[in-house]
Structure 1
């Protein structure tokens, strides 16, 4: 399984970069030219080519600011996820290179060189695509922020500055990231971070105790739950948790989180409909799909080793992993109960 991302100029189809994840060779120039050529041909006839499906691969095209076109080719990934991926890649390019230099580069060769700084972020975004070949223990989800649920969240304040990304260790396993310019110095940033967070260090230490459970120990879920992924679509955050008591009987914790993540990517298109007017501005290609699954509240999977169930209530969607022995008709009851436990306590915030 492989995923490719390529960037070409919209006017001349000149390749700017190509990156890949998974096995297989890097995309050849002839294939890049073919994929871009069909997009440019249809564009001259006032037809926008958005995506296409092949037996085991999906291709998505997206043009940005009438200056560059991003093309992604991936296996086992939905179009909705690939569209979010392309948006994230372009945003990374703007962050590190600047929109002005992308729209009006001094030279193509200079732009190619400047874009190299984006490669680590693009490669990390590629890792977020679930192509069935996990090469990392990370379980990040594009367009959502990973977090934990704890009583101390409302006490913790976030501070930011703008252009260097600096990481400062506050307590064990807890870091704060700051975006800043050439000043102040690293030592000064560390001093400011420590000073700013001094009053919250004890709250951070208490919050850390939630990990890897990621929700308060005062809450208990059904023992049949192997793990869950809870998404708040309104604020764009998610919580990923696994039941450590089942670590020996139902596969490793990483494998269970991978299963949940895969289920999420395939169920998201069914359940994650827009929650506000801004998100309603989706591509025409996804409108038919959205209509097909309109008002869908739940979906489930059954396999030899696991069962998965997803339930949507208001702005929350919970994806729950169960042992295969759990009766299918009881998954809804357990999922509803679990969701109620997690979101009913108003003292706990995201």
Structure 2
């Protein structure tokens, strides 16, 4: 994806344009034309949602009759049209997270709004993969990225004590950008809110303690909350949603050392497996190069694109992620449909499994109710073995996330 554009819905005034590094700047005439054709359709009682031409795809969505977001995919790297609409919804929710729904639903001063929107640029760029972070895909799956460590039960005890000390029910620990432990109430946030809060921290990679006012797009779009983010050590962030009772310096200098210094060794053990996403005690088939495991009942996504230290020059880490996410998006479009119609044909039975064989890799998906597994195999794995390995793997991962 190359561009994300925001304009006012009534007058088409540009608010911002975000672009992938190295992309050409988007002229005002192009922005005006894209908004103009959208407004022309609305004036005649039609809704222009998307268009495709010359390998380029454009989608529009208007929010609260106030703000229109336009997404442009110039090289078909974003995925499906459905995914682009989901991204637009997530990007608008990201703006709500920073600014609240009031400033976005009733735009009175566009110059002031432009300045206030700048604080959301880093998060928007992360969601649209303008500055992609390897192995994080919550913005694609809609579920929180998680990591399974060897001592997560112990870590949960430290987190619960820390949250009690701050008089809050909402706290989590992010390791390598993924949730390693979270309070029960944190997991009860909507999927969109949990994903956005994690992405906020990951996109900024704060070097110190920060205190940020945030609006929860679903639970509290009009009333801000206090998000505290503490960088305990490299790749380890401790987050809490709390009230104004505690002074930031007191929390940083007294409460953090009290509860988290004893957990330092535990965190170091988990950090050793942050790229793998699983402890060494969980062993997968040697032919698996990467996996995405979705737990819709738990609102969590467990994934790894670097299961071991082996490298394949034909499938570097970036390509593994791109190939498997594209396979996931294609499967969502072609095989999973609420209307019961997939592609150009109607299914007479639900699809539970699918596979794809390419010259340098093989893919397999296993749809088991509220659990879905997507695997990327080495091309050397026999096709007849894909299914058995997938069923064995989902059982192993079921136990790991339990």
TM interval, short-chain normalised: 0.7 to 0.9
Q: How does 1:46-65 map to 2 (within 5 A)?
A: 46-65=45-64
Q: Residue by residue, what CA displacement relative to the aligned partner does 1:289-334 show, whole Å, maximum 9, x if unpaired?
A: 5895782223333222111111111111111111112222321221
Q: How far apart, CA to CA, are the structure 2 residues paired with 1:168 and 1:271?
A: 42
Q: State which of 103, 125, 128 in structure 2 corresponds to 1:126.
A: 128
Q: How far apart, CA to CA, are the structure 1 residues paired with 2:58 and 2:68?
A: 13
Deviation at 1:187, TM superposition (A): 2.5
Q: How far apart, CA to CA, are the structure 2 residues paired with 1:145 and 1:339?
A: 19
Q: How does 1:109-258 map to 2 (within 5 A)?
A: 109-127=111-129, 137=134, 139-142=136-139, 143-150=142-149, 152-154=151-153, 156=156, 157=159, 159=163, 160=170, 163=213, 165-170=227-232, 173-179=235-241, 184-190=246-252, 191-197=254-260, 203-241=266-304, 242-247=306-311, 251-258=315-322
Q: Which residue of 1 aligns with 2:376?
A: 321
Q: How far apart, CA to CA, are the structure 2 residues paired with 1:212 and 1:118?
A: 27
Unaligned runs of 5+ in 1: 129-133, 275-285
- Secondary structure in 2 matching 1:72: strand
Question: Higher mean Cα deviation, 240-249 or 74-83?
Answer: 240-249
Deviation at 1:211, TM superposition (A): 2.6
Q: Which residue of 2 aligns with 1:262?
A: 326
- Secondary structure in 1 matching 2:20: strand
- Secondary structure in 1 matching 2:237: strand
Q: Which residue of 2 aligns with 1:106?
A: 108
Deviation at 1:117, TM superposition (A): 1.8
Q: State which of 75, 83, 86 in structure 1 corresponds to 2:85.
A: 83
1:331 matched to 2:386? yes
- Secondary structure in 2 matching 1:226: strand
How many aligned residue pairs are there? 330
- C-alpha distance 3-198 of structure 1, shift in aligned 2 (>3 A): same
Q: Is the 8 A contact 1:171 1:205 kept in 2?
A: no
Q: Which residue of 1 aligns with 2:351?
A: 296
- Secondary structure in 2 matching 1:35: helix
Q: How far apart, CA to CA, are the structure 2 residues paired with 1:193 and 1:292?
A: 56
Give me the TM-score of the superposition, normalised by structure 2: 0.72
Q: Is the 8 A contact 2:287 2:380 kept in 1?
A: no
- C-alpha distance 196-48 of structure 1, shift in aligned 2 (>3 A): farther
Q: How far apart, CA to CA, are the structure 1 residues paired with 2:297 and 2:239?
A: 24
Give me the TM-score of the superposition, normalised by structure 1: 0.81
Q: How far apart, CA to CA, are the structure 2 residues paired with 1:194 and 1:266?
A: 47
Deviation at 1:32, TM superposition (A): 1.5
Q: How far apart, CA to CA, are the structure 1 residues paired with 2:373 and 2:237?
A: 28
- Secondary structure in 2 matching 1:244: coil
Q: How far apart, CA to CA, are the structure 1 residues paired with 2:84 and 2:107?
A: 27
Q: How far apart, CA to CA, are the structure 2 residues paired with 1:267 and 1:123?
A: 25
Q: Which residue of 1 aligns with 2:220?
A: none
Q: Which residue of 2 aligns with 1:282?
A: none
- Secondary structure in 1 matching 2:82: helix
Q: How far apart, CA to CA, are the structure 1 residues paired with 2:49 and 2:321?
A: 31
- C-alpha distance 292-15 of structure 1, shift in aligned 2 (>3 A): farther
Q: Is the 8 A contact 1:139 1:257 kept in 2?
A: no
Q: Which residue of 2 aligns with 1:45?
A: 44
Q: How far apart, CA to CA, are the structure 2 residues paired with 1:332 and 1:24?
A: 41
CA RMSD of aligned residues (A): 3.1
Unaligned runs of 5+ in 2: 164-169, 172-211, 214-225
Q: Which residue of 2 aligns with 1:349?
A: 401
Q: How far apart, CA to CA, are the structure 2 residues paired with 1:166 and 1:311?
A: 39
- C-alpha distance 342-349 of structure 1, shift in aligned 2 (>3 A): closer
